[in-house]
Structure 1
Amino acid sequence: MPELPEVEVTRRSFAEAIAGARVESVRLGKPLRWPLGVDPAKLRGQRVGEALRRGKYLWLPLEQGGLLMHLGMSGSLNFSPGSSSAPGLHDHFDLQTNRGLLRLTDPRRFGAVVWSPGLDEDPAAKLLAGLGLEPFDPRFDGGWLHAGLAGRRVAVKLALLAGDIVVGAGNIYACEALFRAGIDPRMPAQKLSRPRCARLADAVRAVLAQALEAGGTTLRDFKDAHGVAGSFQMQAEVYGREGQGCLRCDGVIRRIVQGQRSTFFCPSCQKR
Structure 2
Amino acid sequence: MKIVTVGDNCMDIYSDGKAYPGGNPVNVAVYLKELGADSSYIGWVGTDPYGHQMAEALKGKGIDKTFLSRKEGKTAVTHVELIHNDRHFGLYDEGVMAQFTLTDEELEYILSHQLVHAGIWGHAEWYYPLFKQRGLLTAFDFSDQLEHGLVKTLPAFVDYSFFSYSKDDEFIRELLKDVKKQGSKVAVATLGENGSLAYDGEQFYQCEITEAEVVDTMGAGDSFIAGFIFGTLQGQSIQQCLKSGTKKAAATIQYFGAW
TM-score (ref. length: structure 1): 0.27
Bigger-Rg structure (1/2): 1
Per residue, is there more strand in 1 or in 2? 2
Which is helix-richer, 1 or 2? Answer: 2
